[in-house]
């Protein structure tokens, strides 16, 4: 199995999983998260591997990337380079539903994979990645996928259209981030330093509040 990037979409394992996920698209353009996960678990080739193996690219990771691309309006990118029947194209999805319990399982799988990979990196340099920048980039990508699952889990809804879970989840997640920042303070990150004007942009990594720093 090979890879040519940090995402599951850029790996043989990820593309195999994507093909399995595609089979669950119904003729009416609907897709259910629970049906996808059940199919992956039944499939000996695409079944989720033990997180302790620290595999860089897995079927749950690919599933999370599919969810994110769908929510970001980029599902058509998943139909790259191939001619699929209309009822098997991600770009033609009319509905993508799921339950928070399934999203929670996916979130924990991703989080545990990242956790054990970092532990392995203490004895195996970069956990097997050849380049430091790829190892760092992969960790950041995994953190982002976990964050996106957290936003869905913050929704008031227990199940339904993932797009609807995202809307209410983002609102609740932002409110909670602002509450924590009020209690514990902001986590500022400096960007765009301008020596001529003596200013930098500051953005809180938690609640994303923005302000300008004058030196």
* 98/204 same-domain check: no
pLDDT at residue number 81: 64
pLDDT at residue number 188: 86
* 119/72 same-domain check: yes
Q: What is the pTM for the complete model shown?
A: 0.84
Low-confidence ranges of the chain (pLDDT < 70): 1, 81-87
pLDDT at residue number 128: 80
* 130/153 same-domain check: yes
* 71/97 same-domain check: yes
pLDDT at residue number 86: 65
* 107 lies in some domain: yes
* 35 lies in some domain: yes
Q: In terms of Cα–Cα distance, which of 52, 50, 70 is closest to 60?
A: 50
Please give the C-alpha separations between residue 52 and each of 14, 111, 131, in angstroms, as whole numbers: 18, 12, 22
* 180 lies in some domain: no
* 42 lies in some domain: yes
Residue span of the structural domain in which 194 resides: 186-214
| Sequence-ordered list of residues with C-beta below 8 angstroms from that of 7, at least 6 positions apart, any chain | 14, 57, 65, 141
Q: In terms of Cα–Cα distance, which of 81, 33, 41, 73 is closest to 59?
A: 41
Please give the C-alpha separations between residue 28 and each of 38, 82, 92, 94, in angstroms, as whole numbers: 20, 21, 9, 8
CA pair distance 167, 147, nearest whole angstrom: 14
* 3 lies in some domain: no
């Amino acid at each position: 199995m090979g890879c040519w990037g940090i995402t599951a979409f850029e790996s043989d394992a990820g593309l195999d999983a994507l093909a399995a996920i595609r089979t669950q698209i119904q003729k009416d353009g609907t897709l259910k998260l629970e049906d996808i996960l059940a199919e992956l678990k039944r499939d000996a080739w695409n079944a989720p591997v033990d997180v302790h193996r620290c595999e860089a690219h897995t079927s749950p990771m690919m599933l999370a990337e599919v969810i994110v691309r769908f929510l970001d309006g980029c599902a058509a990118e998943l139909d790259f380079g191939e001619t699929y029947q209309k009822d098997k194209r991600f770009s033609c999805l009319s509905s993508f539903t799921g339950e928070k319990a399934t999203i929670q399982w996916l979130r924990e799988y991703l989080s545990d994979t990242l956790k054990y990979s970092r532990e392995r990196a203490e004895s195996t340099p970069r956990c097997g990645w050849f380049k430091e920048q790829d190892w760092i980039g992969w960790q950041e990508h995994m953190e982002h996928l976990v964050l996106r699952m957290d936003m869905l889990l913050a929704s008031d809804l227990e199940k339904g259209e993932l797009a609807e879970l995202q809307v209410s989840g983002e609102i609740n997640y932002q409110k909670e981030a602002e509450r924590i920042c009020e209690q514990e303070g902001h986590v500022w990150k400096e960007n765009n330093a301008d020596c001529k004007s003596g200013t930098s942009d500051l953005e809180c990594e938690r609640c994303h509040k923005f302000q300008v720093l004058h030196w």
